[in-house]
Amino acid sequence: MNIVESIRFVMPEIILLVSAIIILVSSLFIRNKNALGIFALSAIVAASLYLPQSHKTDTVLFFNMLTSDSFSLFFKEISLFVAGIVILLSMGYKELTEKYIGEYYFLLLNGTIAMMLAVSSNNLLMIYLSLEMISLISYLLVAFLKNNTLSSEAGLKYFLFGALSTGIMLYGISLIYGLFGTTDLSIISNAVNAGQINGLVLLLLLLMILAGLSFKCALVPFHMWTPDVYQGAPTAVTAFISVGPKAVGFAVLLRIFTNNFFPLYANWVGLMTLISIFTMTVGNIIAISQTNIKRMLAYSSIAQAGYMLIGLVVGTASGMEGILYYILAYVLMNLGAFGCVIIVSNSIKSDAIEDYAGLHKKDPITSFMLSIFLLSLVGVPPLAGFWGKFLVFTAAIQSKFILLAIAGVLNSVVAAYYYMRVIKYMYLEEPKMKDISPKSAPLQIAVAILMAGVLIAGLYLTPFLNWIRNSQSFLSQ
Amino acid sequence: MSFPIMTCIVFLPLAGGLLILFTPKKNVGLIKTIATAATGAALILSVVLLFNFDYAKSSIQFEECLRWIPSINISYHLGVDGISIGLVFLTTLLSFLACIGSYDIDIRQKEYFFLYLLLSTGMLGTFVALDLVLFYVLWEIVLVPMYFLIGIWGGPRKEYAAIKFFIYTLAGSIFMLLGILAFYFTSTPHTFSILELGQTTGALSLSMQIIIFIAFYLGFAVKVPVFPFHTWLPDAHVEAPTPISVLLAGVLLKMGGYGFLRISFPLLKDAAHYFALPFAILGVVNIVYGAIVAMAQTDFKKMVAYSSVSHMGFVMIGLASMSVTGVNGALLQMFNHGIITGGMFFLVGVLYVRAHTRDLNKFGGLGVKMPVYAGLLIVFSLASLGLPGLSGFISEFMSLLGSYAEFQLTTIISVLGIVITAGYFLYMLQRVLLGPLNEKLAGFSDMSKREIFVLLPLMIIVILIGVYPLAALKYQMATIEAFIQKIGGGVF
Amino acid sequence: MIPQSHFLLLGAALFSIGIFGVLTRRNAIGILMSIELILNAANINLITFSKFSDNPDGLGQIFALFVIAIAAASTVVGLCLVISIYRNSKTILINKINLMKW
Amino acid sequence: MVNLAHLIPVFPFLAFVINILIGRRVRRYSALISILGSTISLCLSIYTLVWFLKGSGSYTLFKWLILGGISLNIGVIIDPLTCMMLVVVSTIGTLIQIYSIGYMKDDVRFSRFFAYMSLFMSSMLGLLLADNFITLYIFWEGVGLCSYLLISFWFEKLSAARAGMKAFITTRIGDTGLLVGIFILIFSAHTVYFSDLANLSAASPLLTAAALLLFCGAAGKSAQFPLHVWLPDAMEGPTPVSALIHAATMVAAGVYLVARCFVLFSAQAPALIWVAYIGGITAIFAASIATVNNDIKRILAYSTISQLGFMMIGLGVGGYSAGTFHLMTHAFFKALLFLCAGSVIHSIHTQDIRDMGGVFRKMKITGLAFVIASLAISGIPPFSGFWSKDEILSEILRKGHPFLFAIAMVTSLLTAFYMFRLIFLVLFGKPRTEIHPHESPKVMTVPLGILSVFAIFVGFVGSPFMNHAFQKFIYLGQSHESESMKPDYLVMALSTLLASLGIGIAYLLYVMNKSILPQRIRRHFTLLYTIVYNKYYIDEIYDFLFIKPSIRLSRLASRFDLGVIDGAVNGVAWIFVILSRISSWIDRNIVDGTVNMIAKIVGLFSLILRRTQTGYIQTYLLIAFFGLAVIIFIKLIGG
Amino acid sequence: MMSGLIQLLNNHGISHEVIIKATFYFIAGVTLLFALFVVLARNIFHVAVYLAITILGIACVYLYLDAEFLAIVQVLIYVGAIVTLFIFTIMLTADIDTGSIRGIILRVLVSALVSLALFFILVRVIVMTNWKVALPGNLPIDLPQLGKSLMLDYALPFEVISLISLAAIIGAIVIGKAEKK
């Protein structure tokens, strides 16, 4: 489909872009965090309202650069949701000075655009570009507290790690181009179906693509940047990169592996199984001995990625369903957890788990919500997190990945320990902290929304499941 | 659909809990009233249930079924039959009494009663859920409030006990989840409904059954608790506040036995037959080992805790026998143990409130100061050491009789367990009530009206069942008959 | 003429050298430079393939073009990060930047 | 006429309930309530007896429990044995309760005492009426409970508390045997009813086992040899209790059980022999202890044991009527003995016979009763003991058990000896310490009188003069008639002779030369004496063999539980923590960790490696790459 | 310019083929050499220069692949912009030395091992794979065509690139700008 026809399909992105520029310009005059934030928020809302209109039927846009299908729609919605929540969190996040707030929102909105492009791109070129865009923006956001050494250190580390892994991916893409003479995924998948490709080359290609993507999803062995970056970054940004890029990474992973490369299932299933088990185990085991809650959540998010990967390994429709639902749940509960962390750190100026002692006395609501999110991360029914695990394990059992399932459940038992540790500090210890400062409205709104999400998605998940069912229509299999 | 009585029974407490969330923290009186009202209402409803229950029928009654997650046909499916009705009554009763028993909780009452009510909803739900996933969900819901209840209001080593309990049971039940999933995929058509599985799973191969059985076993054995998995129990019981110990011993342990009775045995009968002997042996180990360990305890609560380990052993041998008498005995034993041990824990609490210690060697001669207490303690101890005429005897006798039909030797050994039980209970009585009065205790007052009110119903039930067991048995016999016919067991 | 594989080998060599550099350079800027090498390696591949591929749509070259642009952008970002870290902790030696560990 | 037998236990039970609830308020009247209760049941018992003689029998009341195939109905058994026992028990019970009014006059828990007594009465009567094993077992444990409560009635005394516990547990050991026996019967004979036992005439090892196990229970209750240890300690209880429970009624329950299942036993010859010999051993063994003991109540206790052994012999050799006959007579005179002892103790507040003496002068009635009872137990004609004991002896001889006969003879000799040792030391001679005996009040002496009458005359019902009315009666409804009714005069003469010989020796030793001779004898047989004096060290042996080890075992087990099993669990947790420490440490000085590994692969520079100290981004990258490379290599080697 | 040179050499009887080959391998060699310098040299300043040279070498290689336009872009952007940026940054941060050598040897060796391993794998892949190869020498892509496809088929990527650059620059300004405190 040519450009002119395609435009209306990317209206949401355009809305975001325009409003981003408006914010940038207006920030020269207005430096009010909340005002700009609310404007950005309204832009997000507008975009998400427009989103369904923009997608009627599955089509390909911009000469097959983008594809507009229900799958991408699902992830676009997720991206917008994440962006909205993160904006709310940023509005309440004290560390973020008002000085460069305009630029901040500008970058955030651009990041959102990049995510929306990435999840819908149908061409390795587009994938590369949009991922790079996400990366660059996240580097900048991570280092956004320019006078904070930790922040800029995190930024640099993130950058170096990212640059290298995307470099590798790029090299892989170039080889793919060499193999198939094109970067258009749909053509490639036909070629793959035709078969006759050397095993070693394939392996190399898969690995090189994986390098870039597992950097985004923080899978072993590309996970090590996670704790440092999560700790150093402004917490609002941490929240963003812990869900946004991850979700996108998984989206791309799914699109490539379960759609285009699916004929090669036999080639990559073993690999993925390995990565999945390693990812969850490493994440969980290291998380046990963490003392900083942000680092702890970093490792936990590594582990969570491991669980999600089970769904991919299984490679069936139900596995797909599981992973999508898991991503949904993960977005809700992880954002929520970080939101609570922001609320707390706003008042006690610390991220050490010990400093959460007796939080229930000072701030019952927050500690209650945080416990809900943590329990959901543990996978206690009937919270959203449980159903994520449930569906994933269901898929695993269904296709006889018994060991994988057992590894998963054992891990979730181990995981319970460190999540409960935070709860223990909050409820079972006596408070050391002084009285907490009043909380900002946006933060509370955000966290409230997320908790409602966790509860609803846990108690009545039929609509969500139907939504997901529709979102994976394109799946061959 | 008619009046959804099951739903009301299960969710009334939770409703109360939510109400409590919106009452001011200061207004403790109101909070207590709400909690009592909620549990009381549930109790009344369950009594209504008892009266409307048709105990000639062996099938599920008061069934309620809604589609919850149609896509993987998980349904909201409740109902009672002879197996669960007794336990439902037990749970509502104990929740109500323990709720009154928790009036002297003096810190953070609001949280306490909220969690308490959440807990009782979870327990009730577990007993009436007829859909495996729903069952699992409610089963897990019990964990969280229990963690807090032990961890916040518990004794000195509460945190250790709480996390131990949590991780332990979670580890057990997570395997149960795998078992549930295995059920789902081995059944045609795929279903989580226990009833449908009851019809279909005959087709399962033995090896598959064994795998699933083990998965479920891990889940249930931790709760019961069966021998190697029991060590969370003494800690949890000792550290938990009195009302919570009551519920732990009275209801939570039953969830395990109920699981065996509702899922493992009927749905996996070949595996059940396959594992019958090991099961019986473990039961005997529980009985004898628990008794022996109990004898060595100086902590009153710990002693009672280990005694429950011992008593649940009878449930196991009764089940293992897979005979009408044995299973009837096992089920009745669960009920009786709930009542008796619940009472025991209340009594321990009564003493603890006064003495602030549970060290048996620090008491003595209380029979003079507290005659009423002495009387009650004697009655419950005798009931729990299986004295004929009190409820404990009937169920133990039936379990033993049933298991004797299958496993003579193990039964005889467990009969010896009874002697040890008598030993440590009398030893306890001697150290607490008899002997010269320990003058440090001279200031003790006898039991208060409230305490007596809590214990009286339990004692009445103990005596009633002891004197006329059919009063309780009639509810379950028809169901058990059918149950045995289904899984193919002996008459005795 | 020069066989295609020789170009590719050149690219591979550059790639490996770049990797080596990234792994060994202590100076942050040095690492950035090594990354440039990697990107160039990719570019060489792309262009080679576009020359030797049977449909001369020039995709390879265009891709390379984009890569160069990206390289520029990322260098900008990278260098500004280097500057800010230098501003904060007066060093750009990777082995001195270790506030956050374990 | 109507069935009222099942009401017999009810009234005492009501008395119990009333006393427990309002006893402390009505205080004195609680005694009347209890006595009223048991009097009513006495009347009912007599009524039942008459009614039975009129020729009606057992009946069932209502369905109580369903055990597999068997549906268990509560009913009452009405047969000679039961009727006899009912009358005996309720009579003695009533009398002793009356006596207790005096004895327990100033006790703080007066009403509680009578409550327990009533409870005991009701469960004892229930035990007698039970028509099946399970009901019997229930009441069996019930009387056990009452004995526990009453033995440790003065629980402020630790010894009393201990004694009660000892009694309960020892009997419980026997009861487990009983329980298993019942199981075997249920599964091999598919019945729990006594009425069906008649059908089990075939001898089978399983049934023998069952019979022996039942006998275990009986031995526990009736304090037969291995399990007798609890009875002497049980004397810690108030004397009326000892009289009622530990002399007349409860301890006889064991004998009653054997008699009740006599058809079963007689079908299983080996079991029967066991019963006989156990009885024999017990009889002589207990008697020997009684000869040297110095505690008035304990002497009586041992004599009880020995007499029960006597009954067991009687039953064991097949003398059904003999055993039951002695059971009845013994009930009366032993109760009488205890009550006398009680009234002595009541007046002089000591139990050690060495401190007594010359009580007779002050306590005529008591003394008289005492003497009568002693004559009865020693078997001096025409007192009741004589007839029943003689019955047993002749039965032994007739069935041809010379050895047992010898034992029985010696026992009766010893019996006469220790009884009169007691008599002489307590009643006659001079007071050996400062004691001020005085006659007990009417309320206590009247029962003594009544019982003495019984002790004298009750024997006649089984004597040739009333041509063995008792035997005839006891066999009513029974199928076979094994015992001959003609008296065996030789045996009569012999036993009388031995009895008087015993009395003579006692007189010789303790009256003529004021216990100089005993010292000398003691000196000659020091070893024997000490052994016997220490009751053959049975208690010590048990303590050493069972009690200490079991306590040690339980300590061990609990340590095991804490240490090993729990330890294992904590171990796992600990391992996880360690694991996490380790892995986070690896994460920390990752180079050390991983590069070490590489170094092993490379096989170089390990020394320099250990010194490298980073935790930096490049290391992370290195790891990433290394992982990548490793995966590729694996795959390459793989294929 | 190239053609002139080749003409000249032809006159001395060296065949067209040979010259091209020789020059190519020479250039490739130089490029790799300087690439090695880039990663090995101590003085970061020199490194920048070496990088420039490497870039130029690669540009020449592009010429052999009939991608003159890209060669020019390469030179313009890299040498003109990127390397200059590097040099500025080096001056700003003024941290010339590359840190102490202690403990680095091992890292170097391990890294060398890893990258060599990678190199060999790549070599193996490149050699053994049958790439989509048409006969060389099909007419090169001419500039207009490139421009057209940039404006049509690749319009979106083009826009994205511009977005990226915008974002990058904005961010860089924010973060790079010195704060006066």
The least confident of C11-25, C68-82, D44-58, D122-136 is: D44-58
Query: Alpha-carbon Rg of chain E, whole angstroms?
Result: 21
Identify all chain C residues contacting E90, using CB atoms and an 8 Å cutoff: 29
Residue A247 sits in the same domain as residue A294: no
Q: Give me the pLDDT at residue B155, please.
A: 82
Q: Give me the pLDDT at residue D601, please.
A: 35
Residue C8: domain span: 4-93
Q: Are strands B74-80 and D59-67 parallel, antiparallel or unpaired?
A: unpaired
Residue A474: domain span: 264-477
In a domain, C84, yes or no: yes
Q: Give me the pLDDT at residue B128, please.
A: 92
In a domain, C102, yes or no: no
If pLDDT is split at 50, 70 and 90, which confidence band does C67 have?
Answer: very high
Residue A332 sits in the same domain as residue A384: yes
- C70: CATH: 1.10.287.3510
Structural contact between residues D496 and D379, judged by C-beta atoms closer than 8 angstroms: yes
Nearest to A283 by CA among D614, D587, D629: D587
If pLDDT is split at 50, 70 and 90, which confidence band does B34 have?
Answer: very high
- What average pLDDT does this structure show over E28-45? 88
Task: With residue D437 as reference, give the H or E element that holds it.
Answer: none
Q: Give me the pLDDT at residue D608, please.
A: 31
pLDDT mean across residues, chain D: 79
Structure tokens at D333: 């005179």
pLDDT of residue D607 exceeding 50, the answer is no
| Domain end (from A209, A230, A260) | A260
If pLDDT is split at 50, 70 and 90, which confidence band does D70 have?
Answer: confident
Structural contact between residues D415 and D502, judged by C-beta atoms closer than 8 angstroms: yes
Angle value at C-alpha A9, between A6 and A10, nearest 5 degrees: 95
Which residue type is seen at B20? I
Share of chain B above pLDDT 70, in %: 99
Q: Give me the pLDDT at residue C38, please.
A: 93
Residue A372 sits in the same domain as residue A424: yes
- For D583, other C-beta atoms within 10 Å of its C-beta total 18
In a domain, C53, yes or no: yes
pLDDT tens digit sequence for B371-414: 888 889 999 999 998 888 889 898 998 999 888 888 888 888 88
Identify all chain D residues contacting A203, using CB atoms and an 8 Å cutoff: 632, 635
Task: With residue D75 as reference, give the H or E element that holds it.
Answer: strand D70-76
Among the partner-chain residues A125, A136, A171, the one whose CB lies closest to the CB of C45 is A171
If pLDDT is split at 50, 70 and 90, which confidence band does D586 have?
Answer: very low
Q: Give me the pLDDT at residue D594, please.
A: 40
Among the partner-chain residues A375, A406, A465, the one whose CB lies closest to the CB of B144 is A375
In a domain, C98, yes or no: no
Q: Which residues, in sequence order, are bridge partners of residue D37? A: none
pLDDT of residue D523 exceeding 60, the answer is yes
Residue A376 sits in the same domain as residue A250: no
If pLDDT is split at 50, 70 and 90, which confidence band does D603 have?
Answer: very low
pLDDT tens digit sequence for D312-348: 888 888 888 888 888 888 888 888 888 888 888 888 8
Cβ-Cβ contacts under 8 Å for D597 (sequence gap 6 or more)? none
- What average pLDDT does this structure show over C13-36? 89
Phi-psi region of D68 (alpha: psi -120 to 50; beta: other; left: phi over 0): left
Residue A434 sits in the same domain as residue A453: yes
Residue A290 sits in the same domain as residue A208: no
Task: For residue E144, say if its preceding peptide bond is cis, omega within 30 degrees of 0.
Answer: no
In a domain, C100, yes or no: no
Q: Which positions of chain A have pLDDT values less than 70?
A: 1, 54, 56, 195-199, 472-477
Q: Give me the pLDDT at residue D611, please.
A: 32
Q: Give me the pLDDT at residue A477, please.
A: 40
For residue A199, the chain D residue with the least C-alpha distance is D639
If pLDDT is split at 50, 70 and 90, which confidence band does C88 have?
Answer: confident
- Which chains does chain B touch, 3 or more C-beta pairs < 8 A? A, D
Alpha helices in A221-316 (DSSP H): 225-232, 235-254, 265-288, 293-314
The predicted model scores a pTM of 0.86
Q: Give me the pLDDT at residue B269, please.
A: 85
pLDDT mean across residues, chain C: 86
Residue A249 sits in the same domain as residue A365: no
Residue A313 sits in the same domain as residue A254: no
pLDDT of residue B356 exceeding 50, the answer is yes
Closest CA of chain E from D583, distance in Å: 21
Q: Give me the pLDDT at residue D610, please.
A: 30
| Domain end (from A195, A228, A260) | A260
Is it the case that chain E and chain C have 3 or more CB pairs lying under 8 Å apart?
yes
- What average pLDDT does this structure show over C51-76? 86
pLDDT of residue D442 exceeding 70, the answer is yes
Angle subtended by helix axes B391-406 and B300-321, to nearest 10: 40
The least confident of D293-302, D524-533, E112-121 is: D524-533
pLDDT of residue D570 exceeding 70, the answer is no
If pLDDT is split at 50, 70 and 90, which confidence band does D481 have?
Answer: low
- What average pLDDT does this structure show over B66-88? 88
CB-based contact (8 Å) between B478 and chain A?
no
CB-based contact (8 Å) between B140 and chain A?
yes
Sign of the alpha-carbon torsion through D221, D222, D225, D231: positive
Q: Give me the pLDDT at residue A449, please.
A: 94
Closest CA of chain B from D570, distance in Å: 9
Residue A290 sits in the same domain as residue A401: yes
| Domain end (from A245, A260, A275) | A260
Among the partner-chain residues D617, D620, D631, the one whose CB lies closest to the CB of A207 is D631
Residue A309 sits in the same domain as residue A234: no
Q: Are strands A59-61 and A66-68 parallel, antiparallel or unpaired?
A: antiparallel
pLDDT of residue D575 exceeding 80, the answer is no
Is B167 close to A413, i.e. CB distance below 8 A? yes
pLDDT tens digit sequence for D608-636: 323 333 446 777 788 787 777 777 777 66
pLDDT of residue D482 exceeding 60, the answer is no
- Which chains does chain D touch, 3 or more C-beta pairs < 8 A? A, B, C, E
- What average pLDDT does this structure show over D269-288? 87
Angle subtended by helix axes D133-151 and D110-129, to nearest 10: 160
Share of chain D above pLDDT 70, in %: 87
Residue A340 sits in the same domain as residue A193: no
Share of chain B above pLDDT 90, in %: 36
Residue B369: how many CA atoms within 13 Å on its side-chain side? 22
- Residues D183, D193: Cα–Cα separation, whole Å: 13
Domain count of chain C?
1
- What average pLDDT does this structure show over B295-309? 86
pLDDT of residue B461 exceeding 90, the answer is yes
Among the partner-chain residues D145, D160, D565, the one whose CB lies closest to the CB of B228 is D565
In a domain, C64, yes or no: yes
Is D617 close to A156, i.e. CB distance below 8 A? yes
Phi-psi region of B488 (alpha: psi -120 to 50; beta: other; left: phi over 0): left
CB-based contact (8 Å) between A291 and chain D?
no
pLDDT of residue D38 exceeding 60, the answer is yes
Structural contact between residues C67 and C43, judged by C-beta atoms closer than 8 angstroms: yes
Among the partner-chain residues C24, C97, C102, the one whose CB lies closest to the CB of D616 is C97
Q: Give me the pLDDT at residue A115, please.
A: 94
Closest CA of chain A from E1, distance in Å: 31
Angle subtended by helix axes D402-427 and D364-378, to nearest 10: 170
Cβ-Cβ contacts under 8 Å for A470 (sequence gap 6 or more)? A70
Among the partner-chain residues D557, D569, D573, the one whose CB lies closest to the CB of B292 is D557
pLDDT mean across residues, chain B: 88
Q: Which of D:580-639 have CB within 8 Å of E?
A: 591, 595, 598-599, 602, 604-605, 608-609, 611-614, 618, 622, 625-626, 628-629, 632-633, 636
Give the mutation candidate from C27, C88, C98 for the A interface (greatest A CB count, under 10 A). Answer: C88
Q: Give me the pLDDT at residue E180, please.
A: 60
Identify all chain D residues contacting E105, using CB atoms and an 8 Å cutoff: 605, 608
Identify all chain A residues contacting C18, using CB atoms and an 8 Å cutoff: 167
Cβ-Cβ contacts under 8 Å for A171 (sequence gap 6 or more)? A208, C15, C38, C41, C42, C45
- What average pLDDT does this structure show over D67-93? 85
Q: Give me the pLDDT at residue D604, please.
A: 33
Residue A255 sits in the same domain as residue A281: no
If pLDDT is split at 50, 70 and 90, which confidence band does C74 have?
Answer: very high
- Which chains does chain E touch, 3 or more C-beta pairs < 8 A? A, C, D
Domain count of chain A?
2
Closest CA of chain D from A289, distance in Å: 6
